[in-house]
A and B are shown apart, each in its own frame.
Chain A
């Protein structure tokens, strides 16, 4: 927990159908005591597909229901383009700062 009430999750690897459950479980664990903000730091995610997009949308909705804002940080150029094409960035805020 950061002093400002954020939690950080740092997934490592490809965010595809095989990783969806792992990330969802990590998000749920973080939401057991809902922080003000949940940061998913994408530094080590080189690949994300439609399964990853849906997982992030679900996680964002779960967090929102508990009053937590889920944001993405350190999003690389390719993923940024992907999130724009899929309109994920119209739902989930992408922030510049890097923490954790």
Chain B
């Protein structure tokens, strides 16, 4: 049996995970407001894996079922990905964990996202673009697009059950 480089790669796997020591050490808990709603603010700098890891840790006490948690993490990651793709100015994610729901607000200062109805229609089969907002809308219980002179915000809401 021949030992091609591909066979070797297959045996060892193609390593794609990123680990960011800085992100891993950041505090998972933010501030707690008087009404018990916890808030965590994360900058969008480029390390999406780090953002997902911190968001997962922040969600843990909310005990979402596995599918809902994965859906929400994907939606947050897609929104941050959009900021990196289009805004060019960085952005911020604010996560809020309260009674029965988790909300993420992903903001950028470029304000390129102005269409409140964006992502309501699926991209054509095989399309190379246009998945982000469509996936967010499919994955979350609520998606709002807000736009003002300070920039654009996508607000994602997922209910606990």
Contact = CB atoms under 8 A, between A and B. Distances in A.
Interface of A: 1, 7-19, 22-23, 26, 29-30, 44, 47, 49-51, 53-54, 57-58, 77-78, 81-82, 85-87, 90-91, 100
Contact of A10 (B13, B73, B138): B13
Identify which of B15, B16, B48, B126 gathers the most chain A CB atoms within 10 Å of its CB: B16
Given A15-B16, A18-B16, A29 B6 contact: yes
Contacts of B11: 100
Interface of B: 1-2, 4-7, 9-11, 13-18, 48-49, 52, 66-67, 70-71, 73-74, 77-78, 81, 84, 122-123, 125-126, 128-129, 131-132, 134-135, 138
Given A7-B10, A23-B14, A78-B66, 6 more contacts: A12-B13, A14-B18, A17-B81, A30-B6, A47-B52, A50-B132
A17 B84 contact: yes
Contacts of A8: 10
**Interface of A (DSSP majority class):** mixed
A49 B84 CA distance: 14
Contacts of B131: 50, 53-54, 86
A12 B131 CA distance: 23
Contacts of B73: 47
Contact of B10 (A10, A51, A54): A10
Contacts of A50: 78, 81, 131-132, 135
Contact of B74 (A1, A11, A44, A82): A82
Contacts of B77: 16, 47, 49
Nearest to B138: A85
B81 to A, nearest CB: 6
Contacts of A77: 67
Contact of A54 (B15, B16, B128): B128
